[in-house]
């Protein structure tokens, strides 16, 4: 279901659309792009192949819909309205909460398999990988960079370049777990306790570097 419409799809056509995307996600992630068939997707979404083609005129377009849908749903779960932070304690609590949330949402078997699939198809579908970048790390870095500009005005953070600073936070949080899961498989997805410990260390480093001198 699209991030912009969190209530149940209203019409029969919208429900079918959502069912096809959900089934397609399963099939693409299980079988990869080449082995996924529109027949299998139709069967798993309990509609005719004709109906699948009415909604998505090609396997290619359906693949794009799966990637954008999964990334937007994840993004909606990670990103919230900009918080109103008044002091160091509130900033720290927000960053810990954000750090745990982004890892909990992103480090799932489905999203990690999507990432592997998109990376393996980057030469055939370069636009798709660009979408995943924009809706994943790109969105996280952009959103946090905008917040950091406000926090600099409020003398909570001090830094030169908001985008670079937001990218550093992103990779302090995501670099090690994402790389481990990419390489070592989904068994390497961290536990809640591991995410919590890793996040505390990442936020401590971030604040040591960027907390505004007036807050120290």
Chain residues binding a second copy by CB under 8 A are: 116-123, 126, 129-130, 132-133, 137, 160-161, 164, 167-168, 170-172, 174-176, 179-180, 182-185, 198, 201-202, 204-206, 208-210
Closer to a second copy by Cβ: residue 89 or 119 = 119
Backbone angles phi, psi at 199, to 5 degrees: -65, -40
Question: Rounded distance, CA 10 to CA 15, Å?
Answer: 7
For helices 88-106 and 59-78, angle between their N-to-C axes, nearest 10 degrees:
150
Termini Cα distance of the chain: 44
Closer to a second copy by Cβ: residue 65 or 118 = 118
Q: How far is the CB of 129 from a second copy (least distance, A)?
A: 5
Q: How far is the CB of 101 from a second copy (least distance, A)?
A: 18
CA 60 to chain centre: 21
Closer to a second copy by Cβ: residue 93 or 201 = 201
Question: Rounded distance, CA 103 to CA 81, Å?
Answer: 18
- Run of H or E residues at 112: helix 109-120
Q: Which two tokens stand for residue 72?
A: 């937007």
Closer to a second copy by Cβ: residue 54 or 88 = 88
Q: How far is the CB of 197 from a second copy (least distance, A)?
A: 9
Q: How far is the CB of 127 from a second copy (least distance, A)?
A: 11
Q: How far is the CB of 209 from a second copy (least distance, A)?
A: 4
Closer to a second copy by Cβ: residue 82 or 126 = 126
Q: Which two tokens stand for residue 168?
A: 């550093």
């Amino acid at each position: 279901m699209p991030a912009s419409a969190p209530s149940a799809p209203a019409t029969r056509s919208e429900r079918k659309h959502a069912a096809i995307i959900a089934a397609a996600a399963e099939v693409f992630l299980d079988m990869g792009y080449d082995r996924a068939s529109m027949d299998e997707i139709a069967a798993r979404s309990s509609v005719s192949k004709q109906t699948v083609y009415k909604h998505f005129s090609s396997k290619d377009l359906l693949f794009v819909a799966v990637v954008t849908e999964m990334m937007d749903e994840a993004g909606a779960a990670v990103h919230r309205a900009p918080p109103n932070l008044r002091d160091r304690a509130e900033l720290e609590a927000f960053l810990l909460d954000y750090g745990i949330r982004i890892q909990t949402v992103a480090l799932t078997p489905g999203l990690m398999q999507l990432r592997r699939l998109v990376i393996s198809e980057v030469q055939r579908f370069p636009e798709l990988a660009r979408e995943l970048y924009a809706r994943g790390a790109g969105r996280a870095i952009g959103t946090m960079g905008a917040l950091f500009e406000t926090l600099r005005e409020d003398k909570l953070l001090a830094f030169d370049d908001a985008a670079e600073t937001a990218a550093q936070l992103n990779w302090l949080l995501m670099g090690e777990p994402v790389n481990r899961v990419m390489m070592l498989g989904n068994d390497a997805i961290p536990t809640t306790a591991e995410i919590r410990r890793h996040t505390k260390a990442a936020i401590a480093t971030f604040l040591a570097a960027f907390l505004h001198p007036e807050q120290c």
